[in-house]
Amino acid sequence: MSISKERILEYKKNFGLRVRELRESKGFSQLDLASEINVEKTSISRIENGRTNVTLVTAVKLANALGVELKNLFEF
Amino acid sequence: MSISKERILEYKKNFGLRVRELRESKGFSQLDLASEINVEKTSISRIENGRTNVTLVTAVKLANALGVELKNLFEF
DNA sequence: AATAAAGATGACATATATGTTTACCCCAAA
DNA sequence: TTTGGGGTAAACATATATGTCATCTTTATT
């Protein structure tokens, strides 16, 4: 048995909340963060709201811009 | 400035190596792991060889099957 | 009220993760 | 020497992350 869709959705949401938490703690707007890593502000909004299944590469960029270790983005 | 392509490639490779390391420590074949989480053995091979940009959902499934916390997959 | 910044969201395009199938290379056991 | 398991990989299909652009709401500021 694999993981339920509900559980998966929770992971997406928690990841998004973690990003938002770190972004706000740095005093960045979504646009600031987006510009920092050359992604669209639309993407940041989608990610923070748990609407996307982020990729490793995007997570690496986010961690870099937020000044944390990659693994910290997955601590929730 | 964002992260270089070389750096990104390293992350993909390291993630793959981490998966391989954990899989082998559990005595699983790629097929065992693939079956466990309902993905293709081809995908496992691609991931372990750093040829794909894995998604959060796939990482969650892998962590689950490998019996580790999600963040442990990103410790390298 | 008027303006602007911040965020959310829809629609469509493009790139690519993963599914699926097939085939190949090793290597160990018969 | 075959046979089968483990791994790699090519080729194509499908699903979706992200880009791009537009619009809308909310909130703060003037």
- Work out if A25's Cβ lies within 7 angstroms of strand C: no
A11 to B38: CB separation less than 8 angstroms, yes or no: no
Residue A37 has pLDDT above 70, yes or no: yes
Residue B1 has pLDDT above 80, yes or no: no
What is the per-residue pLDDT for A3? 84
What is the per-residue pLDDT for A1? 60
Classify burial at B38, counting beta carbons within 10 Å of its beta carbon; exposed 0-12, middle 13-18, buried 19 or more: exposed
pTM: 0.92
**pLDDT, average across residues A3-11:** 91
pLDDT in tens, B29-76: 999 999 999 999 999 999 999 999 999 999 999 999 999 999 999 999
d(CA B29, CA B71) in angstroms, rounded, equals 22
C1’ D28 / CA A14, Å: 29
Å from A10 to nearest chain B CA? 11
Neighbouring C-beta atoms of residue A40, cutoff 10 Å: 12
Q: How wide is the angle at C-alpha A45 spanned by C-alphas A29 and A41, nearest 5°?
A: 60
Closest nt to residue A37, judged CA to C1' = D18
**pLDDT, average across residues A34-59:** 95
CATH class of B5-74: mainly alpha
- Work out if A63's Cβ lies within 7 angstroms of strand D: no
Q: What is the dihedral of CA B20, B24, B25, B27, to 10 degrees?
A: 150
**pLDDT, average across residues B7-27:** 96
What is the per-residue pLDDT for A65? 95
